């Protein structure tokens, strides 16, 4: 059964559109379970109906026409219960709804299985039997397992099919995809698909004009791989037995076969570039082998994949590493890296759309810092079909419009005009101090690190830098930057903001920020080797960075050093030993140093309860609410499946911040917040009530946050906080704060999200 299940899911995943995917499901289920009827109904949420979309056994002309209203019939009962309904005689059940259009009169046995994704019923898989009988436990278990795996495939097939129709009739079709708000704003532009090298599945389609040139690139790549195979065979001839060496001959035969080479060349002649044509051909071959009964032949699918990757590597080696961006580029990918983001000139980068992640993913945070709209975690995003398509990315609601209609474009032009008006209104606070009406000063600092050229006039509103992400220069290089190179980078930032303070965070890699030249492979990277843990295990890297920071501050003395991911007082003790070592070394070398303030980030729950133990070494505490929220709620902030659970206004998060502030203030230590909460107007109102001393955020968020600070007294904020702390539901807490903002005349700052 496992093999059958796997093959059905593979076939559905390979379907080019929703119609074919559903037809494969009903056809395979009818044969596998040996039933008289197999059907799939999809939920039409807009019309509150269940629509028959595919069937084997009922009348085909009923497909798309038979609609049951919400709650109607046994299908409606499956949706209501969100669990299987298994009946031996369906017509005798009071909820049975007879539909003459389907020709279902003879059927008695009924089993309905909900198809659910992210807690939402997408459809219902129904099997029927002429005889009166309940379906067996194994049959039900098989269909439940199948339905659970089909949800994602159905979503993807639906999106892919809509994109296909768009490509065929671009003047008539518009597609809406749904994701999560990543960074606020609206982007309109052309999709530019990015993908990791040598990843065949991620290759997008791309139209070509030079067919002969693409054919030549493909032929050269195939010839190069054939040469490689011959070399491997010759090299291993004295090591491997003849039967094993025969594998290389078999692979060379595949490379020379008409089915692989000619099929790819046909696709190139049809207008797709070599890499995209190769992806289609290899995928087609892999699917054929994976559905074979013989286990040996099934295993050959991995050999075909390997051949495809090898040919792709040679195709990519013949091309320039970079390609020109569109005038207004919407960067699209399965998982976009900081490096890919930085490759696009700022003036051409309009927005970001990612199939993975959430608003607190690293790339989303960078987008917020840059003021670039972003949509994350887009379900069923058919990345490879989107290259060059006109796209609108709504970073407020998380919607993506492909080939938007004139009406949709007009609506978003209006939305952009409203945002421009709001931004103009925010200019009223420019140059004004960040002080509450009752005289409490809340310094507002900036988060930065991506842009190499710091322009002070753009940041004139900030009181300094509260978080400079030093990992960004590391991510942009192919090797560790040396001490002098780092010194120049840090000096530029310190000079740009002097005499205002600049907080440089020590290297924070790991988790979703991996260095290509320092790979860390872990099952659970967010709970693994990252942040200060790497720095302490590699003092040579840590000391080099510390020396560069300290030297960069000479004569300016506006440096503050902050360390990430501190989870124990022992880690802080070890880090301080190395900091003191770096200071002593530089003093011995004659550097005129002034010891900078040293602080730590509170982002691990254990650190929340060790403030007193750490206060002896730490001059200040900065709460990193992104990771703290993730760890407190056990929610991977990059996982779109659980992104709705990531709530920064969760009572547990508020209580943790409250505890840190109270403990730190007893010891005379200031507390700042440098996570996403600091740029969220509703959350800032909560932080003001919690007694946080300062905030650090992206430059685009600063005017809005200053407006909030200047609009509410600390006492007013404390009064709202007391109401919030009596609530259990984080969504209710956000609703409360949004309501307070609206009542204060700041409704334009209210945003959906967490």
Q: In 3-state terms, what secondary structure has residue 193?
A: strand
Q: Is 655 a catalytic residue?
A: no
- Label the pairing between strands 390-394 and 186-193: antiparallel
Does 200-317 carry CATH code 1.10.8.60?
no
Nearest to 351 by CA among 371, 337, 334, 378: 371
* Rounded Cα gap, residues 694 and 259, in angstroms: 65
Question: Residue 710 corresponds to which tokens in the numbers above?
Answer: 């200047």
Nearest to 599 by CA among 559, 630, 570, 555: 559
Q: How far is CA 482 from CA 342, 429, 445, 541, in A?
A: 21, 41, 28, 9
Q: How far is CA 688 from CA 9, 155, 442, 674, 751, in A?
A: 51, 42, 8, 14, 18
The H-or-E segment that residue 123 falls in is: strand 120-129
* Rounded Cα gap, residues 450 and 362, in angstroms: 11
Q: Do the beta carbons of residue 179 and residue 378 sit within 8 Å?
A: yes
The H-or-E segment that residue 660 falls in is: helix 651-666
Low-confidence residues in the chain, pLDDT < 70: 1-2, 156-173, 197-198, 232, 235-248, 293-300, 318-322, 338-339, 360, 423, 425, 450-460, 476, 478, 511-517, 519-520, 523, 525, 638, 640, 747-754
Q: Which residues pair with 192 in a beta bridge?
A: 331
Residue 706 pLDDT: 93
- 212 burial (CB, 10 Å; 0-12 / 13-18 / 19+) is exposed
Q: What CATH number labels 174-195+334-422? A: 3.50.30.10
Phi/psi region, residue 388 (left: phi>0; alpha: psi -120 to 50; beta: rest), is: left
* Rounded Cα gap, residues 751 and 647, in angstroms: 14
Q: Is 93 a catalytic residue?
A: no
Long-range contacts from 470-474, C-beta under 8 angstroms, 24+ separation: 470/504, 470/505, 470/506, 470/507, 470/508, 470/545, 471/507, 471/508, 471/509, 471/513, 472/338, 474/507, 474/509, 474/515
CATH 1.10.274.10 residue ranges for the chain? 200-317
CATH 3.30.450.40 residue ranges for the chain? 2-167
Whole-structure pTM value: 0.68
Residue 451 pLDDT: 44
Nearest to 636 by CA among 385, 362, 368, 406: 362
CATH 3.50.30.10 residue ranges for the chain? 174-195+334-422
The H-or-E segment that residue 366 falls in is: helix 362-370
Quick one: fold of 2-167? Beta-Lactamase (3.30.450)
* Active-site annotation holder among 285, 314, 362, 459: 362
CATH 3.20.20.60 residue ranges for the chain? 429-748
Quick one: fold of 429-748? TIM Barrel (3.20.20)
* DSSP 8-state assignment for residue 580: H
Nearest to 468 by CA among 439, 437, 505: 505
Residue 164 pLDDT: 55
Question: Residue 754 corresponds to which tokens in the numbers above?
Answer: 């967490």
> Which phi and psi angles does 243 have, rounded to 5°?
-65, -30
């Amino acid at each position: 059964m496992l093999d059958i299940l796997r093959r059905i899911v593979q076939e559905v995943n390979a379907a080019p559109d929703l119609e074919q995917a559903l037809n494969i499901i009903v056809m395979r289920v009818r044969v596998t379970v040996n039933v008289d009827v197999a059907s799939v109904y999809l939920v039409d949420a807009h019309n509150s109906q269940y629509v028959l979309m595919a069937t084997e056994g009922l009348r085909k002309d009923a497909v798309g026409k038979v609609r049951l209203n919400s709650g109607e019939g046994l299908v409606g009962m499956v949706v209501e219960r969100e669990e299987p309904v298994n009946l031996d005689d369906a017509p005798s059940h009071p909820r049975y709804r007879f539909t003459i259009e389907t020709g279902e009169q003879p059927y008695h046995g009924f089993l309905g299985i909900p198809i659910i994704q992210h807690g939402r019923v997408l459809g219902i898989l129904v099997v029927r039997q002429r005889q009166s009988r309940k379906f067996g436990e194994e049959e039900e278990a098989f269909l439940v397992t199948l339905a659970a795996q089909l949800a994602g495939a159905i979503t993807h097939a639906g999106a892919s099919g809509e994109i296909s129709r768009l490509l065929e009739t671009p003047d008539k079709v518009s597609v809406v995809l749904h994701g999560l708000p990543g960074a606020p704003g609206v982007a309109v532009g052309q999709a530019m698909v990015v993908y990791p090298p040598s990843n065949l599945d991620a290759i997008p389609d791309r139209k070509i004009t030079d067919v002969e040139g693409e054919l030549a690139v493909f032929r050269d790549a195939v010839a190069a791989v054939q040469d490689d195979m011959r070399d491997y065979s010759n090299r291993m001839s004295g090591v491997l037995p003849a039967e094993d060496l025969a594998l290389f001959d078999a692979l060379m035969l595949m490379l020379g076969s008409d089915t692989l080479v000619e099929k790819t060349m046909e696709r190139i002649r049809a207008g797709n570039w070599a890499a995209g044509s190769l992806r289609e051909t290899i995928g087609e071959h892999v699917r054929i082998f994976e559905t074979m009964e013989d286990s040996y032949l099934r295993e050959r699918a991995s050999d075909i994949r390997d051949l495809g990757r090898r040919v792709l590597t040679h195709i990519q080696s013949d091309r320039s590493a970079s390609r020109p961006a569109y005038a207004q580029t919407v960067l699209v990918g399965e998982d976009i890296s900081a490096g890919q983001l930085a490759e696009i000139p700022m003036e051409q980068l309009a927005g970001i759309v990612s199939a993975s992640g959430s608003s607190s993913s690293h790339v989303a945070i960078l987008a917020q810092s840059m003021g670039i709209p972003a949509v994350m975690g887009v379900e069923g995003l058919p990345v490879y079909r989107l290259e060059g398509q006109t796209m609108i990315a709504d970073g407020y609601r998380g919607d993506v419009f492909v080939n938007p209609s004139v009406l949709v474009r007009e609506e978003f032009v209006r939305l952009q005009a409203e945002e421009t008006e709001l931004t103009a209104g925010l200019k009223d606070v420019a140059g004004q101090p960040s002080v509450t009406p009752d005289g409490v000063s809340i310094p507002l600092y900036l988060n930065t690190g991506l842009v190499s050229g710091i322009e002070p006039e753009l940041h004139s509103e900030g009181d300094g830098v509260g978080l400079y992400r030093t990992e960004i220069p590391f991510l942009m290089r192919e090797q560790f930057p040396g001490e002098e190179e780092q010194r120049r980078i840090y000096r530029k930032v310190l000079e740009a903001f002097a005499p205002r303070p600049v907080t440089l965070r020590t290297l924070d890699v790991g988790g979703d920020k991996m260095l290509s030249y320092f790979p860390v492979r872990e099952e659970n990277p967010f709970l693994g080797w990252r942040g200060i843990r790497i720095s302490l295990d590699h003092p040579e890297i840590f000391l080099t960075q510390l020396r560069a920071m300290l030297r960069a501050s000479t004569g300016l003395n506006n440096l503050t050093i902050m360390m990430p991911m501190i989870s124990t007082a022992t880690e802080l003790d070890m880090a301080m030993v190395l900091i003191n070592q770096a200071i002593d070394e530089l003093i011995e070398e004659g550097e005129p140093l002034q010891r900078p303030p040293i602080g730590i980030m509170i982002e691990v729950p254990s650190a929340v309860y060790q403030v007193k133990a750490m206060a002896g070494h730490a001059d200040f505490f900065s709460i990193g609410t992104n990771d703290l929220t993730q760890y407190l709620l056990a929610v991977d902030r990059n996982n779109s499946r659980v992104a709705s659970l990531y709530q920064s206004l969760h009572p547990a998060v508020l209580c943790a911040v409250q505890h840190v502030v109270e403990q730190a203030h007893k010891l005379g230590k200031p507390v700042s917040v440098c996570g996403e909460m600091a740029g969220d107007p509703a959350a800032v109102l909560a932080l003001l009530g919690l007694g946080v001393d300062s905030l650090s955020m992206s430059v685009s968020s600063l005017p809005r946050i200053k407006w909030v600070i200047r609009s509410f007294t600390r006492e007013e904020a404390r009064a709202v906080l007391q109401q919030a702390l009596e609530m259990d539901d984080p969504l209710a807490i956000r609703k409360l704060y949004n309501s307070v903002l609206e009542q204060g005349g700041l409704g334009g700052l209210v945003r959906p999200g967490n």
